[in-house]
Structure 1
Amino acid sequence: MSIDPRVALEALTAALEEHLAAASARRGPGDPAVEAAFFAVADAFEVYDDSLYEAYGEVTGLGVLDDDGDDDEEEDVDDEEDLEILQ
């Protein structure tokens, strides 16, 4: 069953608002409310991106970062190349 992209976008917006509220009320590093809000944003984004693709064959061009160190090294190289182009 596919989800309407507008409904998924509303859920993503709500998750972002909850993340802002949790971040602004942070009780210290590693606050579980902020971490839970972060994962809710990531999940809502993936649902939105998938529903956008299913409905229209489009994607946002954004992605959720994961903690895999291999990807970070590749991204750093790409970022350095982008900086050289901008200079």
Structure 2
Amino acid sequence: MSIDPRAALSALTTALEEHLIAASARRGEEDPQVEATFLGIIDAFEVYEEALFDAFDEVTPLVIYGDDGDEDEENSDDDLNDELDPIED
């Protein structure tokens, strides 16, 4: 059963708003509410990305960074930066 992309987008927007509220009321460096809403953004984004792909065969230009594959992502970022930096004579 596919999820409606608009519903998934609404859930993602809500997750972002909840994170903003938690971040603005942060109680210390490792506030569990901020952590929970941070993870909520990841979950909501993944659902949105899947719904978007299922409905329209489309993806976003966004990437979730995490513990898995950080080294690979760093290498990809270096490659991308090399492509974007102008060549100097």
| TM-score class, shorter | 0.7 to 0.9
TM superposition score normalised by structure 1: 0.87
Q: Find the structure with the greater CA-based Rg.
A: 2
Q: CA deviation at 1:76?
A: 4.3
Cross-structure match for 1:45: 45
Give every structure 1 segment of 4 or more consecutive aligned residues whose post-TM-superposition deviation is greater than 2 Å.
Answer: 82-87
Q: Percent identity?
A: 56
Superposed, 1:8-47 pairs within 5 Å as 8-47=8-47
Q: Which runs of 5+ in 1 are unaligned?
A: none
CA distance in 2, matches of 1:55, 1:48: 10
Runs (5+) with no aligned partner, structure 2? none
Q: Which residue of 2 aligns with 1:73?
A: 74
More helix by share: 1
Letter of the 1:85 partner, please give it: P
Normalising by structure 2, report the TM-score.
Answer: 0.85
Please provide the CA RMSD for this pair: 1.9
Aligned to 2:60: 60
Provide the rounded CA distance (Å) in 1 between the counterparts of 2:23 and 2:87: 33
